[in-house]
């Protein structure tokens, strides 16, 4: 296999981005939210859970606890009851309560707007922080690497890594910073509609001409 130069990979990534823009001009965060606090809560709940399920749970949750102070001020068991269907609900409830308490005590009740401050909150890793910074505060600090982004980045040969942090570092070299947040949304939309996990629909894919794996799969199946 001939190793692809960084220059060529950047050129190919640019073509992929241009195609994704055409395919998904309205790509957006699938987690329903009205403010940074709601997005933070929804993203914490989304771990090992579908966005659809989270969106079913959060309306009642936000009605009960519309602010970090409200979330911080109730027994953790009450939070558990409302989020039980999202899975791992005991750990998530602790994260929601403790992160809300820190937001109240350390950030005057406002969700912080830096990677360092966000990742200091319980239950908030780099991925969650990137979601909040990019979508709630329009800060392109990093690239969200979820299962779809990881899968498509590997299939498109934009990375050789499986570790999300290493994938993000690879993608940051290839994607213009002003498009970091949208790039994740584009790949997520494409991963849900075309480049699905078990059997990618390569024959229907507009990215095929830029996808080494897709070309290989088509060639071996013909």
Catalytic residues: 127, 146
Other Cβ atoms closer than 10 A to 151:
16
* Whether 137 contacts 115, CB under 8 Å: no
DSSP for residue 5:
P
Give the per-residue SS3 of 154-191: HHCCCCCCCCHHHHHHHHHHHCCHHHHHHHHHHHHHHH
Measured CA to CA, the distance from residue 156 to residue 208 in angstroms comes to 9
CA distance 219 to 222: 5
Closest CA to 175 of 8, 12, 13, 7: 13
- Alpha-carbon distance 32 to 46, whole Å? 11
Structure-derived torsion over alpha carbons of residues 32, 59, 52, 187, reported in degrees to the nearest 10? 10
CA atoms of 127 and 44, how far apart (whole Å): 10
Rounded to the nearest 10 degrees, the angle between the axes of helix 36-45 and helix 89-107 is: 150
């Amino acid at each position: 296999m001939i190793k692809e130069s960084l220059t060529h990979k950047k050129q190919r990534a640019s073509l992929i981005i241009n195609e994704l823009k055409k395919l998904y001009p309205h790509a957006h965060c699938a987690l329903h939210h009205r403010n940074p606090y709601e997005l933070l809560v929804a993203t914490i709940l989304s771990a090992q859970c579908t966005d659809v399920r989270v969106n079913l749970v959060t309306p009642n949750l936000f009605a009960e606890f519309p602010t970090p102070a409200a979330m911080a001020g109730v027994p953790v068991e009450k939070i558990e009851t409302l989020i039980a269907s999202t899975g791992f609900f005991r750990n998530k409830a602790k994260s929601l309560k403790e992160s809300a308490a820190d937001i109240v005590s350390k950030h005057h009740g406002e969700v912080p707007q830096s990677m360092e401050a966000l990742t200091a909150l319980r239950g908030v890793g780099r991925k969650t922080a990137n979601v909040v910074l990019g979508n709630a505060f329009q800060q392109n600090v990093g690239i969200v690497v979820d299962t779809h982004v990881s899968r498509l980045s590997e299939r498109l040969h934009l990375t050789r890594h499986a570790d999300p942090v290493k994938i993000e570092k690879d993608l940051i070299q290839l994607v213009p910073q002003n498009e970091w947040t949208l790039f994740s949304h584009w790949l997520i939309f494409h991963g849900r509609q075309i480049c699905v996990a078990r059997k990618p629909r390569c024959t229907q894919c507009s990215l095929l001409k830029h996808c080494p794996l897709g070309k290989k799969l088509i060639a071996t199946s013909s």
